[in-house]
Structure 1
Amino acid sequence: MSKVKKNLVHYQDLIIKIREFFYSRKVTEVKTPSLLLSPSTDVYIDSIEVKVNRNISRPIDLYLHTSPELEMKRLLSKGSGDIFQICQVYRDNEYGSNNSNEFTMLEFYRIDFDMHSLVDEIIDLLKMLGKTDAAIKISYAQAFFEYGNIDILNTDLEDLKKIANSLGLNSDYDWIEDLQTLLFVHLIEPKISQIPICFIYDYPKEQSALAKIDGPIAHRFELYINGVEIANGYEEIQSADEYRDRFNNELYKRKMIEKKKLLVDEEFLRDIKVGLPHCSGVAIGIERLFSSISL
């Protein structure tokens, strides 16, 4: 068997095993649209715009989804129950050895799961895929205490700038979350690269994305395998009003850094006006997962 054939077969086996894992747990596979009317509002994720129907005089601007997140949440709000999806996603302005403009994503949502229950299920999935190393769970704050001697939840923007300067890093940032991330990359990621499976959880509230906030923390986690980020998940916010607030905050930040002006996706907010059930969800990069499983 050629190397190419062997690689294709291994990738196929991975996808089959993932599907079997969720089927065995009665999680329903779904397929949602890839072409959307509204782009992502995420500050640091850019949608790819496409114009369709030009030759039939009905031109319209659409956007390739950067993840199936919002479309799956529409289903959750309508009573879909536990769901998963494996699909291609598309992002503009991506570059690097671990980044691509197109990649495959596994995204799933579990009803009545808190963040830690979802982490435990991901560990079960990894074991089923043959990744049996012990999983280490460490909070964001604990990681900074242990590896950087920094009380990250109680250190303000100006003090973080001083720390960055002392490390020879650029400190010209307006938002504390950017400096937190910069220091995480330089101080924490090199340490956790020695850990086969590491979950970092309870991020600062400034990095909440669409996760529930509890005091100074957001119920969000990321999975690293040998230092490479594989997954990003959280316990989901539920009300349409809170989604509106988060979207508006993202749009404000995009405006401040002179990114393309966007609008809140009003159709999405109307579709989830009844709210989401209590649930947690996660997005996993399949190519990164495949590389880590294949090592």
Structure 2
Amino acid sequence: MSNQNVENEALSLNEMLQIRREKLKKLQESGKDPFKIEKYEKTHQTGDVKDKFEELEGTEVSLAGRVMSMREHGKASFIDIQDEDGRLQIYVRQDAIGEDSYADFVTYDIGDIVGIVGTVFKTKRGEMSVKASSVTLLSKSLQILPEKYHGLKDTDIRYRQRYVDLIVNPEVKQAFITRSKATKALKEYLDERGFLEVDTPILATLAGGASARPFVTHHNTLDIDMYLRIANELYLKRLIVGGFEKVYEMGRMFRNEGMSIKHNPEYTAIEVYQAYADYEDIMKLTEESVAYMAEKSLGTTKINYQGTEIDFTPPWKRLSMTDAIKMYTGVDFDKIDTDEEALAIAKEKHLEITPGMNRGYVINAMFEEFCEEHLIQPTFITHHPVEVSPLSKRNPDDPRKTNRFEAFVNTWEIANAFSELNDPIDQRQRFMDQLKQRELGDDEAHVLDEDFLNAIEVGLPPTGGLGIGIDRVIMLLTNSPSIRDVILFPTMKPIVKEEKTEQ
């Protein structure tokens, strides 16, 4: 397209926008300013007309929605309006609403929001419709919606202007309805089993409970740096110390890390803690609760994700981390006892060798590099090395391992859980080991939280804990290829307008 054509197209768009403003001005000058209307009484949704047509045929209804199409035929017109339920055809005749009202009506634009009072009927072609007796302009759209057939396909614009995306791509709305049903179901599952929903700080003086880089902000009055939470684990365990036996919290977490189709800096997770339970109990809770989410939101525990059939029906497959490595690489780390042997294998497999790397870190790196890609059906990977599990209880049969699991689906980790470490002496040493990793350059290693150590010195009962990444589960349930498809307003890079340089 030539520069002249681009300029002409832009001019045409600007003219159309100006025409809409002029229409609004005329309405306001004639005392018909739509923005002065505060309320409109609706009796039905468009879905009611379709679902209860036989009951409603011939009766008067009051609807409201956005004009999505207009077809004018002289003194009669058809429009489609869209509300939360969907679209419905409206038949508007001049002799039914009055000459003056019809003259105003034909100046309305696609995108305007209108109120309709009329009678439910079926056209000669058999389409369920409403014959209008009055049409009220409730809000004037001063922008232009994307063209009907091409729609809004640019994903960047879709995510930035989600409000337009929801209008012109109705299937997008369904994903968020499914999300709401699924998260409600998860809470319902926990509530019915005696868990208490609680709230813990989002802003704190320490960022602990996970291995991640936090967002840092500053509290002016206290003149101290504070952190958006990377996890709520340590606060929830404090509540178990205090005497609550079953607690959970669903909310936003914040990690100052990369962005991808599976990662958003701000995301939703749920953490669940149960006193006097172990990781085996939590494993059962995990598979049952995720299956319950699927059943309640979709009516089935079997889904199709991007062409792959996935079955959430419990029980899920269980596989230790070292067994998974042996299965997919042939290397048996249960027979490798020294750091030197492990590092030699890491070099042989061309893994990155980082400062302070030992056998436990090599096992974790081997798993991530060679095993995760094979975990399509729901699978619990158990018994992670103690080095990468600073809050997990050691396995009594092999103290180099922990009683921990991660749940994988479609190669993604969707949950992390363990029998919580409640030995304050061991926990302090684990934190000290993490500090050494920070000194070696790992800025995602855990910080030392003295108050949390004090809490478990007071006494933390045997406890099972769980964290589920809600957004990833919703991606699976809604067949969404990107995490941005299941977050209403995902994090986006700001648009920077280039300044014109002088010639």
Contact 1:47 1:92 in 2 (8 A): yes
Contact 1:32 1:68 in 2 (8 A): yes
Distance 1:7 1:211, change over 3 A: same
Residues 206-234 of structure 1, C-alpha deviations (whole Å, 9 max, x = no match): 33221111223110100001211001110
Distance 2:192 2:422 in 1: 27
The yes-or-no answer on 1:105 pairing with 2:269 is yes
Contact 1:88 1:104 in 2 (8 A): yes
Distance 2:424 2:474 in 1: 35
The letter for the 2-side match of 1:226 is N
2:281 is aligned to 117
Distance 1:114 1:157, change over 3 A: same
Distance 1:6 1:166, change over 3 A: same
Distance 1:7 1:242, change over 3 A: same
Distance 1:5 1:146 in 2: 42
Select 2:362's aligned residue among 176, 179, 198.
179
Select 1:218's aligned residue among 366, 377, 402.
402
The yes-or-no answer on 1:160 pairing with 2:336 is no
Distance 1:101 1:129, change over 3 A: same
1:259, distance to aligned residue in structure 2 (A)? 4.0
1:148 is aligned to 329
Matches within 5 A, 1:270-285: 270-285=454-469
Select 1:129's aligned residue among 281, 293, 297.
293
Pick 1 or 2: higher relative contact order, CA cutoff 8 A, min separation 6.
1
Contact 1:173 1:179 in 2 (8 A): no
Select 1:3's aligned residue among 171, 178, 190.
171
Q: Name structure 1 gaps, 5 residues minimum.
A: none
TM-score, normalised with respect to structure 2: 0.54
SS of residue in 2 equivalent to 1:10: helix
Distance 1:76 1:118 in 2: 16
Percent pairwise identity: 24
Deviates most, 213-222 or 18-27: 213-222
1:16, distance to aligned residue in structure 2 (A)? 0.7
Select 1:39's aligned residue among 183, 207, 223.
207
SS of residue in 2 equivalent to 1:22: helix
1:41, distance to aligned residue in structure 2 (A)? 7.5
2:378 is aligned to 197
SS of residue in 1 equivalent to 2:430: helix
Select 1:288's aligned residue among 472, 490, 493.
472
Matches within 5 A, 1:211-290: 211-214=392-395, 215-257=399-441, 259=443, 264-290=448-474
2:497 is aligned to none
Deviates most, 264-273 or 208-217: 264-273
Distance 1:120 1:287 in 2: 21
Contact 2:356 2:437 in 1 (8 A): no
Distance 2:357 2:198 in 1: 37
1:139, distance to aligned residue in structure 2 (A)? 1.1
Distance 1:80 1:137 in 2: 30
Q: Name structure 2 gaps, 5 residues minimum.
A: 1-85, 87-169, 295-300, 302-311, 480-503
Select 2:183's aligned residue among 7, 11, 15.
15
The yes-or-no answer on 1:91 pairing with 2:255 is yes
Distance 1:182 1:95, change over 3 A: farther
The letter for the 1-side match of 2:434 is E
Distance 2:393 2:412 in 1: 25
Distance 1:266 1:204, change over 3 A: closer
1:189, distance to aligned residue in structure 2 (A)? 1.2
SS of residue in 2 equivalent to 1:224: strand
1:85, distance to aligned residue in structure 2 (A)? 0.7
The letter for the 1-side match of 2:279 is M
1:180, distance to aligned residue in structure 2 (A)? 1.9
State the Cα RMSD in Å: 2.2
Distance 1:32 1:170 in 2: 38
Distance 2:437 2:403 in 1: 22
Residues 138-160 of structure 1, C-alpha deviations (whole Å, 9 max, x = no match): 11122122222111233233333
1:287, distance to aligned residue in structure 2 (A)? 0.3
Residues 25-78 of structure 1, C-alpha deviations (whole Å, 9 max, x = no match): 011111101111122385x411211102x2xx5422211111000111111100
1:261, distance to aligned residue in structure 2 (A)? 10
TM-score, normalised with respect to structure 1: 0.90
The letter for the 2-side match of 1:161 is L
Deviates most, 251-260 or 231-240: 251-260
SS of residue in 2 equivalent to 1:179: helix
Distance 1:162 1:260 in 2: 25
**Quick check: which has more Rg, 1 or 2?**
2
Contact 2:255 2:266 in 1 (8 A): yes
Residues 74-112 of structure 1, C-alpha deviations (whole Å, 9 max, x = no match): 111000111111010111233433222211111001122
How many residues are paired up? Answer: 289
Distance 2:354 2:426 in 1: 30
Distance 1:291 1:63, change over 3 A: same
